[in-house]
Amino acid sequence: MHDLLITSARPYGVGDAVDLLIRDGVVVEMGPGLVAPDGIPTLDADGLVLLPGLVDLHTHLREPGGEESETIATGCAAAALGGYTAVFAMPNTDPVADSDVVVEHVRRRGEEVGLVDVHPVGAVTVGLEGVKMAELGTMAMSRAQVRMFSDDGRCVHDPLIMRRALEYASALDVVIAQHAEDHRLTAGAQAHEGVVASRLGLAGWPATAEETIVARDCALAREAGAALHVCHVSSARTIDVLRAAKAAGVRVSAEVTPHHLLLTDARLTSYDPVNKVNPPLRTGPDTQAMRQALAEGVIDVVATDHAPHASQYKDTEWAAAKPGMLGLQTALSVVVLACVESGLLDWRGVARVMSERPAEIAGLPDHGRPIAEGEPANLVLVDPDGVWTVRGENLASLASNTPYEGMRLPATVVATVLRGRITAQGGVAAPSGAAQNGERV
């Protein structure tokens, strides 16, 4: 079951090419000149970079309740095609994933699709309403073994609820992932507060709305001895807060999205809602600060905030459009464009911020592991010289709200391998059930 020979791959893009023999989903032998035992499929990886399968801590799969925008099947196909072997599905679904029943449904559906490991994120508060804490313990102890909790889309605003949630998180050894946004400061806000918003007449979204919540939460996390994860950092000022908190020993980690590494509010002049996202696109200096912080490790990981929205929610005027953009299939290429081509990260660095650290933060034992004998074969093969043109309609997601439409991006995912099984190859995803008869999702 799930045996494979990969030939001539370069782990982390360094050193000589090696072959890897995978049996029962585990790398059993690594070295030059391996010969495939009879009947074992072979993947020729000449010229390709081999990385541990990517792990996304922040994905919106929309199911249950938002199937007009994405389903677990289509979102997982996008993930596998993007090089991911594990994703964390945010709980802002309908019904909200605030109970063991809903998180177990998401986990099981992910398992049925079989393209990536789907780990449900549980809500911190009932219905994401910010009023009453959800049953974190029940979700953590459930079959889904929820490791991360978040009200993403909204901030856990009440400091008392946040304090209690962190105390529970400490006792349960789980992580609270905060969407840091002081809603009092962003009421009515439509765009990053700055010259572009003023010129366009859009109400401003101050960077301090993020910075103040992160400062508060770091203080609360320190007191509780809890692990806090800051979602989608967007402002340079927040980085200073994170740096100080980490230096003081606070258990805080942080993510940046691909779009906050590459895109700025200069794009808003088109008034195209494809650029509307929460937190908003910020300034050039902010994106530069994000890249630098990622390279230094002050920001730990890249997380996509993959947020599919059907056209009826996006093809409308700016104020009415829902915030969010697709991310899973473009993330690796955008990171290469923003950080590898500028020399800030090498492939080892990419493995660190897109696989190893995310797996560590969420406590996944079998992803983001070193590429070595005895390790699970969760892997991605990347063509570092590949170039592709993004077309929303060709992406696997049901929705097509990509901000990169028509852009030529570097680096292509050639194949993704989950426990020795090829889940995506040459731009085609292969779900486990359909794999036998060669169907596409």
Catalytic residue ranges: 305
Distances 414 to 80, 368, 424 between C-alpha atoms, Å: 11, 19, 8
Pick between residue 152 and residue 193 the one whose CB is nearest to ligand DOR: 152
| Smallest gap from residue 258 Cβ to Zn ion (A) | 14
The least CB distance from residue 57 to ligand DOR, in Å, is 13
Tell which one of 105, 179, 282, 314 touches Zn ion (CB under 5 A).
179
Q: Which does 277 bind (CB under 5 to 8 A by kind): Zn ion, ligand DOR, none?
A: ligand DOR
Shortest distance, position 216 Cβ to ligand DOR, whole Å: 18
Encode 185-201: b = buried (16+ Cβ within 10 Å), e = exposed: bbeebbbbbbebbeeee
Task: Single out the residue of 18, 19, 60, 381 in contact with ligand DOR (rule: CB under 6 A).
Answer: 60
Among 117, 152, 217, 265, binds Zn ion (CB under 5 A): 152
Q: Are strands 408-418 and 49-52 parallel, antiparallel or unpaired?
A: unpaired
Footprint of Zn ion on 334-363 (CB under 5 A) = none
The yes or no reply on residue 181 touching Zn ion (CB under 5 A) is no
According to CB under 6 A, which one of 20, 290, 307, 395 is a site residue for ligand DOR?
Answer: 307
Write the interaction track for ligand DOR spanning residues 145-164; mark x where CB under 6 A is met and - where it is not.
-------xx-----------
Among 278, 355, 401, 402, binds ligand DOR (CB under 6 A): 278
Selection from Zn ion, ligand DOR, none that 291 binds (CB < 5 to 8 A by kind) is: none
Is 89 near ligand DOR (CB under 6 A)? no
- What is the per-residue binding string for ligand DOR in 370-409, x denoting contact by CB under 6 A? ----------------------------------------
Give the bridge partners for 228, in sequence order.
176, 252
Distance separating alpha carbons of residues 190 and 259, to the nearest angstrom: 17
Q: Are 124 and 133 in contact (CB under 8 A)?
A: yes
309 near Zn ion, judged by CB under 5 A: no
Residue 142 binds which one of Zn ion, ligand DOR, none, with CB within 5 to 8 A depending on kind?
none
Is 179 a binder of ligand DOR (CB under 6 A)?
yes
154: contact with Zn ion by CB under 5 A: no
Instruction: Give the binding site for Zn ion (CB under 5 A).
Output: 152, 179, 231
